[in-house]
A and B are shown apart, each in its own frame.
Chain A
Amino acid sequence: MDRVIGIDLGTTNSCVAIVDDGTPTVIPNRGGYKTTPSMVAVTEAGKRLVGHIAKRQAITNAENTVSAAKRLIGRKWNSSQVKNSVLTSSYQIVEGPHADVRIKLRDNSYSVPEISAMVLQEMRVIAEDFLSESVSKAVITVPAYFNDNQRQAVRDAGQIAGLDVIRIINEPTAAALAYGFGKNYEKLIAVYDLGGGTFDISILEIGAHGVFKVIATAGDTFLGGEDFDALIIDWLVQSFKEQHDIDLRQDRMALQRLKDAAEKAKCELSSVKETEINLPFIISSGRNEALHLQQTISRQTLETLCEDLVQRTVEICRQTMLDARLDKDEIEDVILVGGMTRMPRVQEAVAGFFQREPCKGVHPDEVVALGAAIQGAALVDDAHEMILLDVTPHSLGIMTFGSVFEELIAQNTTVPTAQTKIFTTSRDNQTAVKILVMQKEGQQADDFELLGEFILTNLRRAPKGQVEIEVTFEINADGIVNVSAKDMETGQGQSIQVTASSGLTKDEISNMIESAKEYMVERRSSEEFEAARQEAETLIAEIERLFPQVEVVVAASDFGREAVNKARRILKDAKSAIESRDLNQVKSQTEALARTHRMFKGVVTKTQ
């Protein structure tokens, strides 16, 4: 049976988990961290960096480091989110050939699914290294508000990364799965997810026999841990400026260090009352003298700085509860997801709003990936069947005369669903109508995304308002939206199936898959060579250490001299092989080195 990994593809951090012997487990990366920053960078030398290493150079190489690509995935170039990102991102966002979004890094343009694929590929490598076996199937989580295009883009990203994405599930659903794993809960829960870059609140109903239903979901895609870090950085910069009259923001190296230190301090303040930020030689003064930053920050200071942000999350919770027509008392448990929920002030605010202590039984960083792994295991194992019932995260409808949005399917409607509405013509003798299928993206009145359009023709000539047209929206269990329009008099109709698209063509995806494969082959062979080189170099060092002793012992005889000369030749050949970076040569020379080493050790042992 194939193993299925669960991947939490986060805006700022990603996490991979697997169910091993029935136990969901998070897989640590090479550095031992259980989460990996969702960042991709390209260095000056053209080298690709993913994860922690990309994060560590994010400010010094800001133009070529992509973070929060998730905010752009599956979106059209003219969407408001993209426009916002173009203004705020440090990297260059350009328009793609199909009105999609591309990101420019150094001399190349990458599609957003391609960037996300790099992160997914990294997660796959982490899992493969940990399991020492190839992994091809995955369940990937997405925010509950993701539309079909966005979900399709994530599927494409998985495909480019060489993964067979067997299911895309909502993040709060995954969190609820992990929360309810092994327990027969039947309750209404709230999932408060404050991550690195986004905030989401979801209300779920966990039913009997493993039925999970999302009742409501909302959030803010520009509110997360990074905003908290930014406030600490501001505070530090201001303090330093008061002390030395130098603006640390002018120096990228200083800013990178500040960012790292701010994040570290924020994390530490979750467990201690105050912490010291110590950054020696942070900047050089005009007098050629290096200055140090030394500052103590207390938890209270942090809480004062960040109170507005915390209140923003509380306000969104309040609105969501109103939209879901639920009372706070009805919520039986609150699950905290995301690293920021470790902050005591956040926990306090959540407890204050829901009037109950949040659940401490799940790990905020890992719970979503664990839920995805549980879902993955359930999908390949009939014994663990579960039913996940989702809701439509956005309102769906059509655009009518005067650019008025007419809603047919309300937000948070459980799928599958179907809704019908009657419309009339708006002009005399109108013989055709254009049906614009729209999706309402945000709270703004004009924040819509066009999903598709079609024209219904051959209408009867009549004064306006007399011809009636029936429009039906259907969403099936797979989330496919079907829109049809019918002339009620003649019964003549037209329909459209809204097919999710990431903005990439099949050919483009195929090419990207090939490129990703080539990259992986290159990376793997490079890693193999590195391992062989290290082994060879260790043996060379050991042989060279033993050489003088062996030479003294065996040089007296012709045979001994010959052996020593041969060993010298082997050393020389091994060094040449390493220099030429020929993996096969290095491997064969390593064998010869190993034999020589055994012989040398034997000689030395006998003479002692």
Chain B
Amino acid sequence: MAKKPDTTSIPPDTGEIDTDWSEASLQQSAEGSGIPTAVLPEPYERYAKQVTSQPMGEETRKALSAPRLPAIDESVLDEFLEQHSRDSGEMRAMGLVGRQLSGPYAIPLELNDEGEPVRASERAMESPSELLSDSGAVRTTPVPSSKDWTAESPTPHKPVPEVLEAFRRASALEPAGSDNDLVGREEYFELDEPGEIGMEDSLEINLDEVVPLPFDLSQALQVDRKPTPRPEPIDPIEFPLENDGGALDLVSARATPFVPQPTDPIIDLRDRFAVGDFTGAHAVAEAILAEQPNNTEALRFRESCRDVLTQMYTARLGPLSGIPKLAIPVVELQWLSLDHRTGFLLSCVDGQSTIEEILDVSGMPTLDALRILFTLLQQQVIEIVNR
């Protein structure tokens, strides 16, 4: 079961990102030459911590509400990857955290002095194998050597496919439990004290509660990929742009009870009936019929449920010729917690009338009357004797 995300658990190796993420840098970028602002990639928790730990200033708000970046081609991404692959921990962190993000992801770009995105050629390039070997973690998947990589791709700036794939996955938000990703994550981390860093916590962030970032990575990437189908998130939490007390908002948003994803009631009805939840199926059928009185499938299911439930209650009550009798003194009745329908049915229990007669005189639907009688029997308010 997913735990609630912990804003205090920070993935390792993100120090550099932290330094880059500041209001000053954002301000500087935003006040540049009108070039759309970009923020560096970072794990959600770091991002959230930033957002929640300090009041959002006007400039931040402006920056975050800036128009989205236009689509960028793959070469830009390559450059970005090259740039950040120098820092070994950074991509590893992405590999971990990206898995946990949902919704549009911020495009991770760095700007140069002119306000242009930093190109790969402006940076010293390290081979992906070097990059990955920095971590000291043992990879189980074969990593192509520098030579091999170069051979596969005529462009020296081409990122290693695995890294690209990791990034794609991060943005595509594959369902938890993807083998490759999991293995990769575990390999990339070296935990001195298990639990200290919060890896478990990171893994268990509730995907449904992740704050959407103000940029859509999927648009930015413009890569040909087929994202794994996933359920549509329900009610994503809005970024608290308008509220200075963003932290409070975030906390309260997390405390919001889980709202089950609305499903087609007919499917729900079928499922409940199939698993033998006849009471539930009956209730769903009634709800459907309240809105669509002529829904034949709901009508059919309701009748079937009634038949089954009637048989069940009848079997538990015994023969309909049985005579219900009060098992407690009348004066004690008032101490029970009963509704008026039950009260009415109890008034029909006179120690002479059979169950069948009580069903006849109650004027209630048979199923309701049987259910109430059964409940009364279970509560030992009545007992049933044979004629």
Query: Interface on A for B, CB 8 Å cutoff?
Result: 31, 43-45, 47, 49, 53, 56-57, 60-61, 251-254, 256-257, 260, 278-284, 290-292, 530, 533-534, 537-538
Contacts and interface: CB of A to CB of B under 8 A. Distances in A.
A279 B339 contact: no
Given A43-B360, A53-B361, A56-B348, A253 B340 contact: yes
Given A31-B352, A53-B357, A281 B363 contact: no
Given A290-B338, A290-B340, A530-B321, A257 B362 contact: no
B363 A282 contact: no
A279 B347 contact: yes
A60 B353 CA distance: 17
Contacts of B348: 56
Given A31-B352, A260-B347, A292-B334, A61 B363 contact: yes
Q: Can you list the 10 inter-chain pairs with the closest CB atoms, starting with the nearest?
A: A281-B343, A60-B363, A253-B344, A56-B361, A57-B361, A284-B340, A61-B363, A283-B340, A281-B338, A280-B334
A281 B319 CA distance: 28
B343 A280 contact: yes
B319 A537 contact: yes
Contact of B333 (A57, A60, A280, A537): A280
Interface string B348-383: 100011000100111111100000000000000000
B27 interface: no
Contacts of B352: 31
Contacts of A251: 340
Given A251-B340, A284-B339, A57 B360 contact: yes
Contacts of B365: 44
Contacts of A257: 344, 347
B269 interface: no
A52 B292 CA distance: 39
Given A253-B344, A284-B339, A57 B321 contact: no
Contacts of A537: 319, 386
A534 B320 CA distance: 11
Contacts of B341: 253
Which label, helix, strand, loop or mixed, suits the secondary structure of the A interface? mixed
B358 to A, nearest CB: 9
B147 interface: no
B81 interface: no
Interface in B185-231: none
B346 interface: yes
Query: Most B CB atoms within 10 A — which of A252, A256, A280, A283?
Result: A280
A569 to B, nearest CB: 23
Given A256-B344, A283-B340, 20 more contacts: A31-B352, A45-B366, A53-B361, A56-B348, A56-B361, A60-B362, A252-B363, A253-B340, A253-B344, A253-B363, A254-B344, A256-B363, A280-B346, A281-B340, A290-B337, A290-B343, A292-B334, A530-B321, A533-B319, A534-B387
17 contacts: A43-B360, A56-B361, A57-B362, A57-B363, A60-B363, A60-B364, A253-B341, A256-B363, A257-B344, A279-B343, A280-B346, A281-B338, A282-B343, A283-B340, A290-B338, A530-B321, A538-B386
A282 B319 contact: no
Nearest to B358: A56
B342 interface: yes
A251 B343 CA distance: 13
A47 B319 CA distance: 18
A343 to B, nearest CB: 24
Interface residues of B, number: 28
A201 B8 CA distance: 95
Contacts of B364: 60
Nearest to A254: B340
Of A56, A254, A256, A534, chain B has the most CB atoms within 10 Å of the CB of: A56
A390 to B, nearest CB: 40
Contacts of B360: 43, 47, 49, 53, 57
Contacts of B366: 45
Nearest to A283: B340
Nearest to B343: A281
Contacts of A56: 348, 361
Contacts of A60: 361-364
Contact of B386 (A61, A254, A534): A534
A61 B353 CA distance: 18
Contacts of A534: 319, 321, 386-387
Interface in B8-62: none
Contacts of A279: 343, 347
- Which one of B330, B342, B347 has the highest number of Cβ atoms from chain A below 10 Å of its Cβ? B347
Nearest to A55: B361
Nearest to A31: B352
A579 to B, nearest CB: 12
Contacts of B387: 534
B321 A282 contact: no
A59 to B, nearest CB: 8
Contacts of A44: 365
Contacts of A49: 360-361
Contacts of B386: 534, 537-538
Nearest to B337: A290
Contacts of A256: 344, 363
Contact of A290 (B321, B339, B361, B363): B339
B346 to A, nearest CB: 7
Contacts of A57: 360-363
Contact of A281 (B321, B339, B362): B339
Contacts of A283: 340
Nearest to B347: A257
Interface in B275-324: 319, 321
A29 to B, nearest CB: 12
B58 to A, nearest CB: 49
A290 B339 CA distance: 5
B376 to A, nearest CB: 12
B345 to A, nearest CB: 9
Contacts of A530: 321
Interface string B52-87: 000000000000000000000000000000000000
Contacts of B337: 290
B310 to A, nearest CB: 11
B362 A282 contact: no
Contacts of A31: 352
A32 B340 CA distance: 30
A368 B343 CA distance: 38
Contacts of B347: 257, 260, 279
A573 B110 CA distance: 86
A254 B330 CA distance: 18
A597 to B, nearest CB: 17
